[in-house]
Amino acid sequence: MTVETIRNRARQILEDTVNPYRWEDAELREHLQTAVRRLNTRVPATRYVAGVVQDYISLPAEPEDDTEFPVDDRYAEALALYVAYLAYFNDATDTVNNERASSCLARAESLMI
């Protein structure tokens, strides 16, 4: 999976697919790194890369958002949902976004198994 594919899926969940975007690419990228750390905590086996345990999985350097990073594709939807959760959570003064954040978090964590 790539940063770009997760960011695009998160944008679909956020209904933020038309430029100019409400959430900047850099912000969603930061949220993705947080999501990967959360996945590494909930599913410790995801910390293994080529049989070697890592402190955490870091994303490729920023200009290389189309480069694969070592997380199994089955967690793509969970990561996208967690990115959406963090985006909505930062905008939770809006009641609807607060509800959406809670929904995304619950769905993401149910997929992180």
Q: Between 4 and 90, name the one with better pLDDT.
A: 4
Q: What angle do CA 40, 15, 17 make, to 5 degrees?
A: 95
**pTM, entire model:** 0.93
Q: Are residues 17 and 94 in contact, defined by beta-carbon separation less than 8 angstroms? A: no
Q: Which residues pair with 68 in a beta bridge?
A: 2
Cα 52 to the chain's mean position, in Å? 23
Alpha-carbon gap, residue 63 to 42, rounded angstroms: 28
Give the chain's mean pLDDT: 92
pLDDT bin (cut points 50, 70, 90) of residue 80 is very high
The pLDDT value given to residue 87: 95
Q: What percent of the chain has pLDDT over 90?
A: 75
Backbone phi and psi for residue 96, each to the nearest 5 degrees, phi listed first: -65, -45
Structure confidence at residue 36 (pLDDT): 96
- pLDDT, tens digit (0-9, with 9 covering 90-100), for 15-69: 999 999 999 999 999 999 999 999 999 999 999 988 889 887 888 888 888 999 9
Return all residues near 54 (Cβ < 8 A) that are at least 6 apart: 47, 48
